[in-house]
C-alpha cells in the first residue's frame, strides 16, 4: 500500500468520497445479509407450517431489501466514480506539468511511447482501483466478518467445521498476489515497448517507406508483440494454477456444510430453514475470499501502474531555480555573453566540450564551425541552461546564468534549431508560439524577414492554414522559415541559430541572411553553421573539434591560416578558387 499512500495527496481533498463509497458498499453488504434471514423465515415459518398468507409480506420484504441494496450500490458507484475521476484528472495534470519542467537530460533517454502509456493505461488502472477496487477489497473483509457473525449466531459448531478451509484459501490468494505482481510489472513494460514501436513507426513512416523497410518494421513489432503475448500467457498460467486450487478449497467447505448440516437437519438438531440460510451465508464468505484473487489482481495492476507514474513524478529536475534566483529585466539586458573555461559532459561520458572560453560583446555575432559531434550544439544548449556546466561558468552581463530564473533567462533567448518542430495548428499560431499577445502585423513582419510570407500567402487559407503533425505538408525549407519567423517575433536579446538555414537553397539563404542583418543589429547572436557563407560576416568564428576550440578569429583571418577552417573553405569554394587560380578571399553572396 506504500504506492497508494504516496498518491494520497492527489485525492486528499475528496477523501470523503472514498469514505462514503466504502460506507455505502459496507451498508449494501449488511443489508444483503437480511435475505438469508428472510429465507430461513420463509421455510421455517411459512412453507413448513403451510402459512401461505404470509408469502406476500415476505415477498415485499425481499423487494424492499433489493431496492435498498441497489440504492446503496448506486451511492458506492457514484462516489467511487467521482473520486477516481478526480484522482485521474489531478494525476494526469501533475504528470504533464512535470514533463514540461523535466530537464533535457531526462529526455535524452525517455521514450515517447512509454510516457504515453504511463499517462493513459497506467493512470486508468490507478483510477479504477482507487475509485472502486479499494472499497471492494475492503468489502471482502466486511462480508467475511458479517457473514461469520450471522453463521455463529445460527450454529457455532457447524460454522467452525465449515470454515476450516478458509485460512488455506486466504493463504493461496495471498500467494497468488506475490506471484502476479511481478508479472504485471513485466506486462506494463512490454506494453510500453509496444506503444513506443507504434509511435516511432507512425512518426517515421516516410523514412520507413523510403528505405523499403516495411517488412523489417513488421518483424520488429512482431517481436515486441510476442514479448507482450508471452507476458499475458504467463499471467494466464498463474491464474490457471491458483484459481482451480481456490475453487477446490471453496467446494470442500460447501461439501462439509451439506454433509454435516444435512445430518443435523435429519436429527432435528437444526431446522431446514437454518440450513438454507447457512448455505446462503457460506457464499457470503467463500465468494469474497475466492474473489480475493481478482481484487488482489486489480490491486497489483494499480500498484505496478502507480510505481510507473510515481517514477515520472519523482524524477529530479536537474536544472532548476536557486532559492533566491533573479528575474531578468528585459529592458536592462545588454547581452554580453562570456563562456569562462566551460567543461561539460553528458552523464558519465567523455566531456562534450572542454575548456571553452570566449566573450561575445553586446550585439556581437559569434559563429561556430565544426564537424558532427564537435560540441557546437552543446554550447548553445548550455547557453539556454538546458544543462548546467560541470566546470567553469557562463555569464550574462557579468552574472552567472545559474543565478537567474530559468524561465526569465530563456525569455531573453530565441533559438532556431536545425531540426524544426511545428505544432499541428495554424501557421499563425506556430509563428506566434511563445507569445501571449501579438498583433497580426508583427507576425507578418517576422514572416517577411524570414522570407516566409510569400509562400504562406499562396496557401489555401494563408496564415490560417493548418499544418500537419510536425509540419507535414510543408517542405523542409518552409518549415525552417516558419521557425525562423517564430524566433524573430520573440524579439530576443540573444538570438541562437543552430544551422537555421540548412534546409533552404543558397538563394533563399542569402535572402534570409539579408533579413538577419536587420534583426541581429543590437542583439548578441550565436550561429552554428556548416556553410561558411552563413558565418563570413561574424565578428568572431570559433572552430570546434572533439569538444575543443581549435581556431578562433574573423573570416578574413582564418582563411589565411592553415587549419580546419581553411580546409572547409577550400572544399566549399573549390570551383571558384580553381577559376581564380587559388587567390582571393572567395565569392561574395552576390557573386
- Kindly report the CATH number assigned to the domain that includes residue 291: 1.20.1560.10
Kindly state the cell numbers that stand for 162. Answer: 465449515
Q: Which residue has the cell 510570407?
A: 453
Are 256 and 250 within 8 A, CB to CB?
A: no
Q: Is residue 434 over pLDDT 80?
A: no
Please give the residue that has the higher pLDDT: either 245 or 591: 245
Q: Which residue has the cell 467452525?
A: 160
Percent composition of the chain: helix, strand, coil (DSSP 3-state, to 5): 65, 10, 25
Task: Grade residue 336 by pLDDT with cuts at 50, 70 and 90.
Answer: very high
Are 194 and 229 within 8 A, CB to CB?
A: no
Mean pLDDT, residues 42-51: 73
In a domain, 528, yes or no: no
Q: Is residue 30 over pLDDT 90?
A: no
Mean pLDDT, residues 497-523: 68
Q: Is residue 579 over pLDDT 80?
A: no
Query: Torsions phi, psi of 179, nearest 5?
Result: -85, -40
Among 313, 297, 305, 304, CA closest to 118: 305
Tens of pLDDT, residues 63-82:
888 899 899 999 999 999 99
Q: Is residue 414 over pLDDT 90?
A: no
Which range of residues forms the domain containing residue 177? 2-313
Task: Grade residue 398 by pLDDT with cuts at 50, 70 and 90.
Answer: very high
Q: Is residue 144 over pLDDT 80?
A: yes
Domains held by the chain: number:
1
In a domain, 585, yes or no: no
Res 540: pLDDT: 94
Host H or E run for residue 525: strand 524-528
In a domain, 56, yes or no: yes
In a domain, 566, yes or no: no
Q: Is residue 589 over pLDDT 50?
A: no
Query: Torsions phi, psi of 387, nearest 5?
Result: -135, 160
In a domain, 557, yes or no: no
Task: Grade residue 515 by pLDDT with cuts at 50, 70 and 90.
Answer: low
Tens of pLDDT, residues 154-182:
888 888 888 888 788 778 877 877 777 78
Distance (Å, rounded) from C-alpha 215 to C-alpha 328? 54
Task: Grade residue 588 by pLDDT with cuts at 50, 70 and 90.
Answer: very low
Q: Is residue 575 over pLDDT 70?
A: no
* Sheet containing 413-416: order of strands: 413-416, 494-498, 524-528, 365-370, 540-545, 548-553
| Angstrom distances, CA of residue 523 to CA of 18, 23, 366, 553 | 57, 66, 11, 20
Q: What's the pTM value of the predicted model, to 2 decimals?
A: 0.72
In a domain, 510, yes or no: no
In a domain, 574, yes or no: no
CB neighbour list of residue 387: distance below 8 Å, 6 or more residues apart: 103, 104, 105, 318, 319, 344, 346, 378, 381
Among 256, 293, 253, 297, CA closest to 170: 293
Are 408 and 327 within 8 A, CB to CB?
A: yes
In a domain, 552, yes or no: no
The three-class DSSP label of residue 182 is helix
Please give the residue that has the higher pLDDT: either 468 or 133: 133
Res 507: pLDDT: 67
Pairing of strands 540-545, 365-370: parallel
Q: Is residue 62 over pLDDT 50?
A: yes
Please give the residue that has the higher pLDDT: either 33 or 552: 552
Tens of pLDDT, residues 78-130:
999 999 999 999 999 999 989 888 888 888 888 777 788 888 888 888 898 88
Q: Is residue 190 over pLDDT 60?
A: yes
Tens of pLDDT, residues 239-280:
888 878 877 887 788 888 888 888 888 888 888 888 888 888
Mean pLDDT, residues 554-583: 79
Tens of pLDDT, residues 446-484:
888 888 898 999 888 899 988 876 666 787 778 888 888
Pairing of strands 337-345, 524-528: unpaired
Distance (Å, rounded) from C-alpha 398 to C-alpha 464? 43
Among 373, 309, 300, 386, CA closest to 548: 373
Tens of pLDDT, residues 373-390:
888 889 988 998 989 999
What is the average pLDDT score of the chain? 83
* Cα-only R_g, the chain: 36
Task: Grade residue 20 by pLDDT with cuts at 50, 70 and 90.
Answer: very high
Tens of pLDDT, residues 274-320:
888 888 888 777 777 766 767 877 888 788 888 888 988 988 888 88
Please give the residue that has the higher pLDDT: either 211 or 348: 348
Amino acid at each position: 500500500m506504500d504506492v497508494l499512500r504516496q498518491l494520497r495527496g492527489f485525492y486528499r481533498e475528496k477523501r470523503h468520497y472514498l469514505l462514503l463509497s466504502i460506507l455505502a458498499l459496507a451498508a449494501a453488504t449488511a443489508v444483503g445479509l437480511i435475505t438469508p434471514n428472510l429465507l430461513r423465515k420463509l421455510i421455517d415459518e411459512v412453507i413448513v407450517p403451510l402459512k401461505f398468507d404470509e408469502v406476500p409480506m415476505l415477498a415485499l420484504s425481499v423487494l424492499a431489501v433489493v431496492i435498498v441494496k441497489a440504492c446503496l450500490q448506486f451511492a458506492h458507484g457514484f462516489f467511487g466514480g467521482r473520486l477516481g475521476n478526480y484522482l485521474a484528472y489531478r494525476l494526469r495534470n501533475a504528470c504533464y506539468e512535470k514533463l514540461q519542467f523535466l530537464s533535457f537530460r531526462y529526455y535524452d533517454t525517455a521514450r515517447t511511447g512509454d510516457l504515453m502509456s504511463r499517462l493513459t493505461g497506467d493512470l486508468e488502472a490507478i483510477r479504477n482501483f482507487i475509485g472502486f477496487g479499494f472499497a471492494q477489497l475492503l468489502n471482502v473483509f466486511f462480508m467475511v466478518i458479517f457473514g461469520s457473525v450471522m453463521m455463529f449466531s445460527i450454529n457455532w459448531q457447524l460454522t467452525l467445521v465449515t470454515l476450516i478451509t478458509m485460512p488455506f484459501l486466504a493463504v493461496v490468494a495471498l500467494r497468488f498476489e506475490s506471484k502476479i505482481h511481478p508479472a504485471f510489472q513485466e506486462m506494463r513494460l512490454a506494453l510500453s515497448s509496444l506503444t513506443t514501436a507504434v509511435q516511432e513507426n507512425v512518426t517515421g513512416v516516410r523514412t520507413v517507406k523510403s528505405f523499403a523497410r516495411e517488412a523489417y518494421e513488421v518483424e520488429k513489432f512482431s517481436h515486441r508483440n510476442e514479448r507482450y503475448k508471452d507476458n499475458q500467457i504467463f499471467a494466464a498460467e498463474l491464474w490457471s494454477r491458483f484459481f482451480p486450487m481456490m475453487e477446490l478449497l471453496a467446494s470442500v467447505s460447501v461439501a462439509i456444510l451439506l454433509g454435516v448440516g444435512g445430518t443435523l437437519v435429519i436429527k432435528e438438531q437444526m431446522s431446514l430453514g437454518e440450513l438454507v440460510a447457512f448455505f446462503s451465508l457460506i457464499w457470503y464468505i467463500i465468494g469474497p475470499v475466492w474473489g480475493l484473487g481478482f481484487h488482489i489482481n486489480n490491486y497489483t495492476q494499480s500498484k505496478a501502474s502507480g510505481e510507473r507514474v510515481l517514477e515520472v513524478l519523482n524524477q529530479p529536475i536537474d536544472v532548476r531555480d536557486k532559492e533566491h534566483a533573479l528575474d531578468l529585466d528585459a529592458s536592462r539586458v545588454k547581452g554580453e555573453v562570456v563562456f569562462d573555461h566551460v567543461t561539460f559532459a553528458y552523464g558519465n561520458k567523455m566531456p562534450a566540450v572542454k575548456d571553452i572560453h570566449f566573450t561575445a560583446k553586446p550585439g556581437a555575432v559569434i559563429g561556430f564551425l565544426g564537424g558532427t559531434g564537435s560540441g557546437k550544439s552543446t554550447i548553445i544548449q548550455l547557453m539556454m541552461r538546458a544543462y548546467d556546466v560541470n566546470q567553469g561558468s557562463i555569464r550574462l552581463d557579468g552574472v552567472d546564468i545559474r543565478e537567474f530564473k530559468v524561465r526569465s533567462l530563456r525569455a531573453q533567448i530565441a533559438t532556431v534549431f536545425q531540426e524544426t518542430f511545428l505544432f499541428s495548428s495554424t501557421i499563425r499560431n506556430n509563428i506566434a508560439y511563445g507569445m501571449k499577445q501579438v498583433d497580426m502585423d508583427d507576425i507578418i513582419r517576422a514572416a517577411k524577414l524570414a522570407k516566409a510570407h510569400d509562400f504562406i500567402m499562396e496557401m489555401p487559407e494563408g496564415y490560417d492554414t493548418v499544418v500537419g503533425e510536425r509540419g507535414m505538408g510543408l517542405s523542409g525549407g518552409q518549415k525552417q522559415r516558419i521557425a525562423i519567423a517564430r524566433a524573430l517575433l520573440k524579439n530576443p536579446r540573444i538570438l541562437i541559430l543552430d544551422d537555421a538555414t540548412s534546409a533552404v537553397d543558397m538563394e533563399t539563404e542569402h535572402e534570409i541572411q539579408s533579413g538577419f542583418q536587420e534583426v541581429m543589429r543590437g542583439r548578441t547572436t550565436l550561429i552554428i553553421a556548416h556553410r561558411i557563407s552563413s558565418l563570413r560576416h561574424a565578428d568572431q568564428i570559433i572552430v570546434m573539434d572533439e569538444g575543443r576550440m581549435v581556431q578562433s578569429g574573423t573570416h578574413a583571418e582564418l582563411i589565411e591560416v592553415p587549419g580546419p577552417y581553411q580546409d572547409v573553405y577550400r572544399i566549399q569554394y573549390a570551383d571558384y578558387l580553381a577559376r581564380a587560380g587559388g587567390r582571393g578571399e572567395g565569392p561574395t553572396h552576390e557573386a
